[in-house]
């Protein structure tokens, strides 16, 4: 039996209630969803926030409000990770400004977004000084090699970077396949990243099978309506808690123990709340 972190990504930046009526959009929605998913086996939550019109925003004030509400509803043992995703709206400078304003305990950063127009060396040094736990989002093996190069050159001064492999985002119909994982693992091995803590998220109806493949290989997983609405048998899930519980059951059947609290923080490299 080995520990596994199940992170829930309950809404993402693009889906609306037209996609699913239980998609959490408001601060109250996210707080209630976080607590329910925590009870269902999730040890962390990946948070996108929306404005009053339902659009993805990088708003420091709204993030502070949402993080406080989640903490009050879900307790201290659920790790909260914010996103810096651009979604075609925000520049690297604007993404950095959000993180500079919040100094969050944990954040996800896409290599191909943050390094789109330069190498913000001072910004990454600042994050390290403030013990901000970064999970690096990698969409393909080119991103893996890019991250490895940045780390070798000291642009990313993280001795143990946390990695998230994204399966199916740019596949036909945004459908993932368990075989999508192997090129990531091979590239990580070649680039000296295979010992780093890694997670997988997977788009579409292949989510459960793809996450099971990651669990078998010793990885951690991210599940939720950001990436998929479907159970393995093709049914649409009632809500994010139902998906979290389903993946927690898969993990246990494969000999993995879902964790939260200190164990979850250690997996993500989080040293503060």
Decide if 66 contacts 49 (C-beta within 8 A): yes
pTM: 0.97
In the structure encoding, which two tokens stand for residue 180, read together? 């999508």
3-state class of 204 per DSSP? Answer: helix
Q: How confident is the model at residue 1, as a pLDDT?
A: 74
Q: How confident is the model at residue 170, as a pLDDT?
A: 87
pLDDT in tens, 93-130: 999 999 999 999 999 999 999 999 999 999 999 999 99
pLDDT in tens, 193-232: 999 999 999 999 999 999 999 999 999 999 999 999 999 9
Q: How confident is the model at residue 114, as a pLDDT?
A: 98
Sign, Cα dihedral of 94, 87, 113, 29? positive
pLDDT in tens, 134-189: 999 999 999 999 999 999 999 999 999 999 999 999 888 899 999 999 999 999 99
- Topology given in CATH for the domain delimited by 2-268: TIM Barrel (3.20.20)
Task: Give the whole-angstrom CA distance, residue 65 versus residue 141.
Answer: 36
Task: Give the whole-angstrom CA distance, residue 43 versus residue 79.
Answer: 6
Q: How confident is the model at residue 59, as a pLDDT?
A: 98
Task: Give the whole-angstrom CA distance, residue 268 versus residue 142.
Answer: 23
Q: How confident is the model at residue 242, as a pLDDT?
A: 98
Q: How confident is the model at residue 154, as a pLDDT?
A: 97
pLDDT in tens, 237-250: 999 999 999 999 99
């Amino acid at each position: 039996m080995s520990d596994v972190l199940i992170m829930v990504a309950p809404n993402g930046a693009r889906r609306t209630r037209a996609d699913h009526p239980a998609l959490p959009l408001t601060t109250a929605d996210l707080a209630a969803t976080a607590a329910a998913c925590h009870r269902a086996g999730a040890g962390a939550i990946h948070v996108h926030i929306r404005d009053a019109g339902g659009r993805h925003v990088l708003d420091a004030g709204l993030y502070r409000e949402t993080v406080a509400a989640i903490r009050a509803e879900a307790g201290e043992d659920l790790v909260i990770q914010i996103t810096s995703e651009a979604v075609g709206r925000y520049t690297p400078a604007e993404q950095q400004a959000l993180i500079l304003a919040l100094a969050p305990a944990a954040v996800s950063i896409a290599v191909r977004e943050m390094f789109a127009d330069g190498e913000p060396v001072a910004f990454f040094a600042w994050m390290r000084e403030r013990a901000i736990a970064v999970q690096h989002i990698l969409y393909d093996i080119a991103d893996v090699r890019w991250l490895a190069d940045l780390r070798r050159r000291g642009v990313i001064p993280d001795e143990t970077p946390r990695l998230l492999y994204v399966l199916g985002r740019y596949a036909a119909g945004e459908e993932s396949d368990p075989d999508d994982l192997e090129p990531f693992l091979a590239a990580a091995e070649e680039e000296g990243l295979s010992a780093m803590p890694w997670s997988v998220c997977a788009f579409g109806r292949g989510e459960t099978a793809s996450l099971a493949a990651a669990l078998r290989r010793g990885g951690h997983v991210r599940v939720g309506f950001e990436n998929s609405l479907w159970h393995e048998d093709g049914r649409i899930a009632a809500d994010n808690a139902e998906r979290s519980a389903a993946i927690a059951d898969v993990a246990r059947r494969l000999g993995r123990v879902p964790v939260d609290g200190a164990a979850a923080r250690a997996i993500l490299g989080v040293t503060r709340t």
